[in-house]
Copies of this chain bind each other. A is one copy, B any other.
Amino acid sequence: MKPSVVTIEPNGHFCSDCAVRGSAVCSSLDAAELKEFEHLGRRVHFSSGETVFSEEDITTSFYNVLEGVMRLYKLLPDGRRQIVGFALPGDFLGMNLSGRHNFSADAIGAVTVCQFAKAPFGRFIEDRPQLLRRINELAIRELSQARDHMVLLGRRSADEKVAAFLLGWRERLLALKGPSDTVPLPMSRQDIADYLGLTIETVSRTFTKLERHGAIEIIHGGISLLDPARVEALAAA
């Protein structure tokens, strides 16, 4: 992706009516703190395919996803890619020890983030253990997800991977958009393949197989879960 020309809203946004107010890092802050916090972040927009940060970049900012979906991935020198996760509104990105991001992040479709410069954010945390605790919670949640994903990558068959992915993705959207058997899939087949450790052909074939068996219906921009129980059985867990 080409270097992005980002649009920065100069000001005029308020944390208090932010869409992710309840679920993001800032959920640990009270009204007074929020007022102060407001000055630290700035909304930044990225359009489809733009890279928000790269693996080898020195970390200068933290990011709070407000809208849209991002793919988080690592590349091997020869170009093989592993997507380590998809980021959704409420997710917090940029934590690391080395001072460098250890994965890259691209926008899938239009994305809005709340960007914080590293230093002032660090200072703000300093005397607010509540916020640190919240960040720790998010890290631990991600760690748990990462371990689940290791099981999927190391020990599950292609069918199980795809079924587990569909259910897991639906589950994540549930918190954001409410329950639905229609599961939008904004990412490409290649993204799904790189997330599951498969090839694009295998993902495609598995989708059509699920459809032939009446478990799902492939619709434009996503799938419809016709038989959730069947898909759950396939996911085998």
Contact = CB atoms under 8 A, between A and B. Distances in A.
Contact of A236 (B76, B139, B149, B196): B76
Contacts of A148: 74, 102
Nearest to A161: B154
Count of chain copies: 2
A83 to B, nearest CB: 8
B140 A95 contact: yes
Contacts of A129: 129, 132
Interface residues of A, number: 41
Nearest to A136: B136
A54 to B, nearest CB: 14
A141 B97 contact: yes
Contacts of A74: 147-148, 150-151
A84 B194 CA distance: 20
B140 A132 contact: no
Contacts of A140: 95-97, 139
Interface in A132-181: 132-133, 135-137, 139-144, 146-151, 153-156
A-B pairs, top 5 by smallest CB distance, nearest first, are A154-B197, A146-B146, A153-B153, A82-B151, A153-B154
